[in-house]
Structure 1
Amino acid sequence: MKFTTRFAPSPTGPLHLGHAYSALLAYDLAVRNSGTFLLRIEDIDQSRSRQHWEDQIYDDLTWLGLTWPRPVLRQFDRMPLYRQALNRLWSQGLLYPCTCNRKDIAAAASAPQEGFPLHGPDGVIYPGTCREKWTHQVQSAIPEDVALRLNMSEALRRIAKDATGLRFHETGAGPDGATGWIDLSDEQMLHGVGDVVLARRGMGTSYHLSVVLDDAAQNISHVVRGQDLFDATGIHVVLQRLLGGETPTYHHHPLIRDDTGKRLAKRDDARAIAKYRAEGATPEDVRAMVGL
């Protein structure tokens, strides 16, 4: 597989220094390995996505000196393909509908079993309320207007038929410095991750499902992203195995933080690339700011 990286921002706010670091790192890795750098627009959340933020993404990245093939893949255009994947998983008995809201989940998970963490990479670990409810009910079609969760226990049982196990190769470093081959245990996936949402109510998909399908469609060989997504990689490996895709190499990088040590978010307009540009900074200045 050709060395291919990608940068996949959401058009829901201005790009900040953290985005610049991730995009530049992915771009530099591709150039250094005679590969390809791709840009992808993750706009599945249509309630928050705005065209002017998407236009700003193109403008900021071009100013930084990045180039990429056109046209750019936009997730909203791929909704029918996400639906096909959901239908496939549903027909295999790997999904179940969930009608719980955040308050329901927090209440049910307020007294977890001893030794089980309360939070995982997808938020509060789901206590399985609707899984038990739907276990003995047969549905011919996916119900509408509900969330769809992956039955992690059943997913792992299917994957267990393959002796290779769950693992991925890390060339960056996880939050605890982990690198090299990372092995994932069933215990970790069941009790540290749980039944994650693969289609959110009113959205039709989720970050986890769409990112796995898009990386496969674009033949991404190396996923470059922040350490905050390291723990979510297990979810993606499970989906890759279930949907027959290859697992790329992952490179998780440190996060860019503010002066108090807090990681940057899109609400941190003071760190926006556009602000530095307006103040006269150069692309080389931005590279220096993020340690490149």
Structure 2
Amino acid sequence: MITRFAPSPTGPLHLGHAFSALTADALARKAGGRFLLRIEDIDTARSTPAFETQIYDDLRWLGLSWPEPVLRQSDRRPAYDAALASLEAMGVTYRCTCTRGDIRAALAAPQEGAPLIGPDGPVYPGTCRDAGHDHPGAAIRLNMTRAVAITGAVGFTEIGPLHSGRHDFAPDWLCTQVGDVVLARRDIGTSYHLAVCVDDAAQDVTLVTRGADLFEATAIHAVLQKLLGLPVPDYHHHRLIRDEQGKRLAKRDASRAIALYRAEGATPDDIRRMVGLDS
């Protein structure tokens, strides 16, 4: 079994990251498998070497180790370009020039009713689907209708306790509830959805360990994996670490940063107890 922890170096690791990394490591140890670290730095504008270094320092302080070299997404652009080219050759992509403001305005039109919110945010209304844009700076979207005509129903197996079991998604549901998600953005050249599928396959990941907030997005990944002929790993979506108000921790929660707890004299066992793990 191979699993991974894949943080983005856009801020300090917080308690939620500690829980995710420790959970993945524990699953690998229990199965006699391997724990990998991957740096998801496709957002080059926000990613910094300092935050990447801090990730390594914090995780080693927690007692974790991983094989070297670490895969960094910023080095993987050719692989993402190749995947996009394959999808384009299948006829399941199109270029989209809509801004976020354009999409909000289209969804706010009275005849549209309340906008549907899917795993990738508001379900895109399809404004550019048949426009035939060829602007090289446009975003690239997945034409979900054409995609599911190829894939049919898709699914995955969840082994985590929150959603344990088999989950399958019908073509109609994927079209109406997920829609035409972005595969490559103007400023990044790929997307989380595409990159994570390509990289999990490249690293032979058999168990994806991540937070429950990404559970619904796995339907998108199952579509891309089937289109690209990639293996479908099992998934373990774990509980989220929340603050006193019940909100999921985010990078902006600097008061929960592992580095801050370290500076205040906390031990790795203290961190484990804070996130509800045995020391």
* TM-score normalised by the chain length of structure 2: 0.96
Displacement of 1:241? 0.1
Letter in 2 for 1:47: A
| Alpha-carbon distance between aligned partners in 2 of 1:66 and 1:85, rounded to the nearest angstrom | 32
Match of 1:181, SS state, is: strand
Partner of 2:141: 149
| Alpha-carbon distance between aligned partners in 2 of 1:49 and 1:273, rounded to the nearest angstrom | 18
Q: Return 5+ residue gaps in structure 1 as ranges.
A: none
| Alpha-carbon distance between aligned partners in 2 of 1:271 and 1:265, rounded to the nearest angstrom | 9
Partner of 1:167: 155
Residue identity over aligned pairs, in percent, reads 61
Is the Cα–Cα contact under 8 Å of residues 209 and 239 in structure 1 kept in the other structure? yes
Letter in 2 for 1:249: D
Displacement of 1:111? 4.3
> Are 1:245 and 2:230 counterparts?
yes
Distance 1:84 1:273, change over 3 A: same
Distance 1:112 1:21, change over 3 A: farther
Q: How does 1:53-72 map to 2 (within 5 A)?
A: 53-72=51-70
| Alpha-carbon distance between aligned partners in 2 of 1:113 and 1:105, rounded to the nearest angstrom | 14
CA RMSD of aligned residues (A): 1.5
Distance 1:159 1:283, change over 3 A: same
Partner of 2:100: 102
Displacement of 1:172? 1.2
Q: How does 1:184-199 map to 2 (within 5 A)?
A: 184-199=169-184
Find 1:269's aligned residue among 246, 249, 254.
254
Partner of 2:195: 210
Q: How does 1:1-292 map to 2 (within 5 A)?
A: 3-111=1-109, 118-134=116-132, 143-160=135-152, 165-173=153-161, 177-292=162-277
Alignment length (residue pairs): 277
| Alpha-carbon distance between aligned partners in 1 of 2:264 and 2:61, rounded to the nearest angstrom | 14
Is the Cα–Cα contact under 8 Å of residues 108 and 114 in structure 2 kept in the other structure? no
| Alpha-carbon distance between aligned partners in 2 of 1:74 and 1:254, rounded to the nearest angstrom | 26
Tell me which stretches of 4 or more aligned residues in structure 1 moved more than 6 Å.
112-116
Is the Cα–Cα contact under 8 Å of residues 117 and 192 in structure 1 kept in the other structure? no
| Alpha-carbon distance between aligned partners in 2 of 1:110 and 1:91, rounded to the nearest angstrom | 34
Is the Cα–Cα contact under 8 Å of residues 16 and 271 in structure 1 kept in the other structure? yes
Letter in 2 for 1:149: R
| Alpha-carbon distance between aligned partners in 1 of 2:260 and 2:22, rounded to the nearest angstrom | 18
